[in-house]
Amino acid sequence: MKKLVSVLLASSLLLAGCASGAASATTAAPETTTAAQTEKETAAETTPETTAETTAAAGVFTGKAQGFHGDIVVEITVDGETITDIQVTEHSETENIGEAALPILAKQALDNQTIMVDTVAGATITSDGFRAAMEEAVKSAGLDVDKLSLAVESSQTDKEEITLDTDVVVVGAGGAGLTASLSALQGGAQVVLLEKMSFAGGASSMAGAGTTATGSKWLAEDGVEDSPEKLKEDLLKNGHNFNHEPTVDIFVNTVGQAFDWLVDPEGANVEYQRPTTSRTYSGVGRGAGVVKTLLEHVEEAGGQVLMSTPATELLVADGKVAGVKAEGEDAVYTINAKAVILATGGFGANDDLVPEEFQKFVYAGAAGATGDAIEMTKAVDADLINMEFVNVQPNSIVLPSGLGQYCNPGVGGAYKASGAFMVNEKGERFANEQGGAYDLIQAMKENQATYLILDEASFAAFNAGMTGSKIYTDEDVEKWLENNGASNPVMVGGDTLEDVAKVLDLPEGALTAAAEAYNQAVEGGTDEFGRSLSLKLSGDGPYYGIQMWLRYYATLGGLHINENMQVLNTSQEPVEGLYAAGEVVGGLEGDIYLGGSLFGWAMTSGYDAGTSVIEAIK
Ligand SMILES: Cc1cc2nc3c(=O)[nH]c(=O)nc-3n(C[C@H](O)[C@H](O)[C@H](O)COP(=O)(O)OP(=O)(O)OC[C@H]3O[C@@H](n4cnc5c(N)ncnc54)[C@H](O)[C@@H]3O)c2cc1C
């Protein structure tokens, strides 16, 4: 995938500087630079100009380094000793996260004439990759790397103190915060929306955006049979009755109306794919697409959005919440408001809150999910429910960044192509690989390590599923195979099963025995683990092994709310002025979430919180 991010030199000061500072430069920096121009200029001008006064070059130089998903390629335009333009010409970073960070990094690098840009919160790997690519480009331009390695100086030591008065302050610009803001704005309120990252979206941006629509007009028109009662039954069954029923009731009874609003051109006007045959619809452009649209609509409706501005504490007077304090890059804010809606997402990125039993699995959620609202609401003695439940899923690899990555598109293809199966650290099969996720999770938990074993056809299908979903590239596969299990993701190949077993440190002969038993089970038509078997593992190599992990991302516990979306304290009384929406609310799901319902809850509870606040402040 080729993507282009461009930062053009805005400062005439800098241009003046480069004219005087680079006696040898023969080519003026272009005032605007397109990718096509840059390529031409690269061809014409990459020979460094060297004189007695300076060794600096003029032209366009390239640097490349590993980002979160694949390489980040930067092109810098140099005039004398000055970088006059930075373009990121290629990357595959995550939409709304790494992708959103790149222009920020490029601008910082250009404005400060440095490769040592600050890490953009939530996009550490992208920031590291950008810095490394810049260093390579700067070196190839013959510029002084040390001179261009000064850390970005903070523009201010004393931050300005700003007081804002508004009707509603919403904390967190994920799906719940955006829908809460938009519904409150449409109800006539003034809204300030705070986001601690430099981009909106949180976990919502990372999600597939399958959204529950039970009780909606669309579902009725599309002839899907469903009801609030059925949804409630499914949530309770799926969550093994660990759900908090009053929260379930809020969801099942309001999700239809919220979904109608979400897709209504007069409402949130978010694009969803139709028709559906289940109770969920998929947002166009996945979670990232839904977030982008919602953010645009919040801004169009007059919402004041402050990025990189975390809320730090609640303003509490006489037990009532009257606003928040927040801290931006250049200012600290006191925001007085009639109502505060907390929409800070989950707490999966905070090891102090994630129960220890889950911490041995790999985290695959948003970096900003640090449970800030859980900490902030201690000031009002907020009641918390289901904090012991974290959503775990099987079929995951660990990316080089250390983050967990779901592999459903790969695993699905592999099992269809031939007889792939899973083994544990003893080289033995241990579960129905294609059974329910919950059962596979329980079985994987019992083992120290688990590996997916594949033949050539299933390995090709696995990777086709993953590359087709733009999760990684064929070049990544080549690199990882060469790496031979030395670092994540563990993906190894060999001519024989025993070659693979040796690298994975499985007991000699165990994998061959597992394959024979598996193929016999296919012939006999019965599997000891209850998998319905039809395809054998090939008798010929090569074979492959991929280490599979349990990953966790969404958290299922959090604030206790009432039917008006108000936060309750430990005496079960509503805290005046304080509302919550989205994953920060506990209890909807029980011990595992029902597909589509968390994203659906973010949309629904955000809408509900916005409308409740409007009722309250009228
Ligand atoms: C990889 C992944 C896949 C998923 N897939 C699905 C799926 O298919 N179906 C489904 O139903 N659910 C899915 N989920 C879960 C679902 O997406 C989330 O539960 C839901 O989107 C959460 O929305 P939210 O608005 O509550 O939180 P988020 O979207 O996480 O937004 C919270 C925002 O608050 C910000 N914030 C935090 N603290 C502060 C602070 N102090 N000040 C200011 N801002 C702050 C965060 O930076 C973030 O932007 C998935 C989650 C992940 C991570």
Condensed to tens digits (0 to 9), the pLDDT of residues 495-550 reads: 999 999 999 999 999 999 999 999 999 999 999 999 999 999 999 999 999 999 99
With the most atoms of ligand 1 within 8 angstroms of its CB, the residue from 314, 344, 395 to mutate is 344
Instruction: Specify the amino acid at residue 177.
Output: G
Cβ(396) – ligand 1 distance below 6 Å: no
Question: Around Cβ 379, how many Cβ atoms within 10 Å?
Answer: 14
pLDDT score, position 95: 77
Instruction: Specify the amino acid at residue 603.
Output: M
Residue with CA at minimum distance from ligand 1 atom 49:
202
Rounded distance, CA 506 to CA 424, Å? 9
| pTM metric for this prediction | 0.84
Distance 178 CA to ligand 1 centre (A): 11
Pairing type for strands 160-171 and 191-194 reads parallel
- Which domains, and CATH codes, for the chain? 5-149 (3.90.1010), 165-389+556-617 (3.50.50.60), 394-552 (3.90.700.10)
**Apex 115 CA angle, 109 and 117, nearest 5:** 60
Ligand 1, residue 344: give the atom nearest the CA: 34
How far is the CA of 175 from the CAs of 265, 286, 386, 602, in angstroms? 18, 12, 22, 6
Distance 181 CA to ligand 1 centre (A): 15
Residue with CA at minimum distance from ligand 1 atom 6:
207
Ligand 1, residue 122: give the atom nearest the CA: 47
Cβ(349) – ligand 1 distance below 6 Å: no
Burial 383-404 (b: 16+ CB within 10 A, else e): bbbbbebbbbbbbbbbbbbebb
pLDDT score, position 153: 67
Angle between helices 175-186 and 245-263 (to 10 degrees): 60
**Apex 208 CA angle, 473 and 280, nearest 5:** 145
Cβ(289) – ligand 1 distance below 6 Å: no
Cβ(348) – ligand 1 distance below 6 Å: no
Cβ(343) – ligand 1 distance below 6 Å: yes
Distance 174 CA to ligand 1 centre (A): 6
Distance 102 CA to ligand 1 centre (A): 21
Distance 582 CA to ligand 1 centre (A): 8
- Residue pLDDT, tens place only, 139-166: 999 998 888 888 776 555 689 999 999 9
pLDDT score, position 570: 98
Cβ(328) – ligand 1 distance below 6 Å: no
Q: At 261, phi and psi to the nearest 5?
A: -65, -40
Rounded distance, CA 414 to CA 466, Å? 11
Pairing type for strands 390-398 and 404-406 reads antiparallel
Cβ(345) – ligand 1 distance below 6 Å: yes
pLDDT score, position 46: 33
Ligand 1, residue 553: give the atom nearest the CA: 53
SS3 assignment for 43-58: HHHCCCCCCCCCCCEE
pLDDT score, position 41: 31
With the most atoms of ligand 1 within 8 angstroms of its CB, the residue from 374, 598, 604, 608 to mutate is 598
Residue with CA at minimum distance from ligand 1 atom 2:
207
Distance 153 CA to ligand 1 centre (A): 32
The reply to whether omega before 246 is within 30° of 0 (cis) is: no
Largest CA distance in the chain: 83
Ligand 1, residue 606: give the atom nearest the CA: 25
What is the residue-wise DSSP string for 302-346? Answer: T-EEETT--EEEEEEETTEEEEEEEE-SSEEEEEEEEEEEE----
Q: How far is CA 25 from the centre of its chain?
A: 43
pLDDT score, position 37: 29
The segments of the chain whose pLDDT lies below 70 read 1-57, 153-157
Cβ(589) – ligand 1 distance below 6 Å: no
Tokens of 373: 């609202």
Cβ(582) – ligand 1 distance below 6 Å: yes
